[in-house]
């Protein structure tokens, strides 16, 4: 479709006597030729007569047309200027500049999915579910998701003031944040839990899925296994996702090779995502996965696969429900279009988008418990380094479930 405009314009310039496929098109049909003729005529009129000549280059007009076309589809589709496309490519690396806030549009409000750990947004006290009402004093009501992200990014060291509404308390607070280089360690808190029992239950938390995540997790599991780990808690709470291949590789740590982790359905041909071959022995100990309302995208794919394939118990709350596939296609001038082409399904054919993944064991945190958990993860004076199992009801339920699994397995033998 992106090639039709230049082809049409070239044909139109050749003269009125040229045969045009649009002449034979039924006016009742959805004909690209007729619509491109209308668009080209509108651009020509604007270019010719609009009062401010500096705003009407054909490049600007075509870019704005594509921007409007894509943002009308859904919150995840967008047109990217060359600098935005380059920035998107850089975001999959281990560090980048910004505030460290993952955003989404929910109910017409610009909503925080999760602040990245050790980022300005996280350290300032912004929480999942917070709604950003203003950026530097300007309302976000009419901003697209991409426009909001562009306003948050900028020169490292620059100041950004966010006016934030917290729906749970109805409080509206201004946060002045300083942009920083965001370093993203993705595998954290690798340890054997002091759970009070004889079982050695390991714990690993994944903050998001980047290029090195699966390799980091593999090393972490090797260390815990050398310490005699009997079972594992994999914490995906507040994990906003990231690279799909990384999420598939993480699931592959616990599944046999060539196991389907997820598949897509859409207007494009279906695609299956499978685990890779591995030379190391398969990890067969019991696993519990912690999820909550801020576990999104890649973390939902991991949780959904391990649940459907009976490889792990899920503990916590139903996940966010972001399971759509965005294809990014580069254009000739360095810009790109990103649009939704399919939706993800778990191995059990359960849709993720708009539904989320439900846990086996439902366990929720009170507002005070969640605030305490997040404080324990921040670098704040007086905050505990780690929340003990007793102070985290979701973790406690996961540990209890793993203990029961281990006792049952022992009695069977």
Just list the catalytic residues: 297, 308, 322
Neighbours of 354 (CB within 10 A): 10
In angstroms, rounded to a whole number, what is the distance separating the alpha carbons of residues 197 and 153? Answer: 47
Instruction: Work out the number of other CB atoms within 10 angstroms of the CB of residue 286.
Output: 21
Phi, psi of 79 (to 5 degrees): -100, 135
Residue in this structure with the two tokens 């808190």, named with its chain if needed: 189
Q: 38-48 in b/e burial notation, b at 16+ Cβ within 10 A?
A: ebbeebeeeee
Residue 43, token pair as written in the block: 């651009």
The answer to whether 338 and 352 are in contact (CB under 8 A) is: no
Using a 10 angstrom Cβ sphere, with 0-12 exposed, 13-18 middle and 19 or more buried, the burial of residue 175 is middle
Structure tokens at 288: 């519990």
- Tell how far CA 382 is from the center of its chain: 32
Phi, psi of 160 (to 5 degrees): -135, 130
Closest by CA position to 249, among listed 297, 202, 212, 286: 212
Give the 3-state DSSP-derived string for 82-126, with helices as H, strands as E and coil as C. Answer: HHHHHHHHHCCCCEEEECCEEEEEECCEEEEEEECCCCHHHHHCC
CA 370 distance to own-chain centroid: 21
Alpha-carbon distances, residue 83 vs 79, 140, 183, 199, 376 (angstroms): 11, 22, 21, 52, 37
């Amino acid at each position: 479709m992106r090639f039709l405009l230049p082809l049409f314009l070239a044909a139109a310039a050749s003269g009125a006597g040229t045969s045009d496929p649009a002449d034979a098109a039924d006016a009742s049909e959805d004909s690209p030729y007729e619509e491109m003729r209308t668009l080209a005529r509108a651009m020509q009129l604007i270019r010719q007569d609009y009062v401010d000549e500096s705003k009407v280059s054909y490049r600007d007009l075509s870019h704005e047309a594509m921007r409007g076309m894509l943002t009308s589809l859904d919150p995840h589709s967008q047109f990217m200027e060359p600098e935005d496309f380059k920035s998107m490519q850089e975001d999959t690396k281990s560090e980048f500049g910004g505030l460290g806030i993952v955003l989404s549009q929910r109910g017409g409000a610009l909503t925080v999915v999760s602040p990245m750990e050790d980022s300005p947004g996280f350290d300032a006290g912004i929480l999942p579910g917070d709604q950003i009402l203003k950026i530097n004093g300007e309302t976000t009501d009419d901003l697209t998701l991409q426009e909001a992200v562009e306003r948050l990014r900028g020169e490292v060291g620059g100041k950004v003031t966010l006016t934030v509404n917290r729906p749970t308390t109805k409080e509206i607070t201004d946060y002045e944040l300083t942009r920083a280089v965001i370093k993203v360690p993705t595998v954290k808190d690798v340890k054997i839990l002091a759970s009070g029992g004889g079982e050695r239950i390991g714990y690993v938390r994944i903050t998001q899925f980047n290029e090195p995540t699966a390799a980091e997790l593999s090393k972490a599991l090797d260390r815990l296994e050398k310490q005699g780990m009997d079972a594992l808690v994999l914490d995906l709470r507040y994990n906003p996702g990231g690279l799909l291949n990384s999420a598939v590789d993480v699931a592959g740590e616990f599944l046999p090779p060539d196991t389907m982790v997820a598949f897509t359905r859409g207007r494009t041909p279906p695609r299956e995502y499978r685990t890779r071959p591995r030379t190391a022995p398969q990890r067969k100990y019991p696993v519990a996965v912690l999820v909550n309302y801020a576990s999104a995208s890649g973390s939902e794919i991991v949780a959904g696969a391990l649940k459907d394939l009976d490889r792990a118990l899920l503990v916590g709350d139903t996940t966010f429900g972001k399971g759509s596939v965005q294809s990014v296609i580069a254009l000739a001038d360095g810009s790109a279009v990103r649009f939704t082409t399919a939706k993800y399904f778990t191995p059990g054919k359960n849709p993720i988008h708009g539904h989320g993944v439900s846990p086996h064991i439902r366990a929720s945190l009170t507002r005070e418990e969640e605030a305490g958990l997040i404080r324990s993860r921040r670098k704040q004076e007086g905050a505990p380094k780690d929340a003990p199992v007793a102070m985290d009801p979701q973790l406690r339920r996961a540990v209890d479930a793993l203990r029961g699994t281990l006792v049952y397995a022992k009695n069977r033998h």
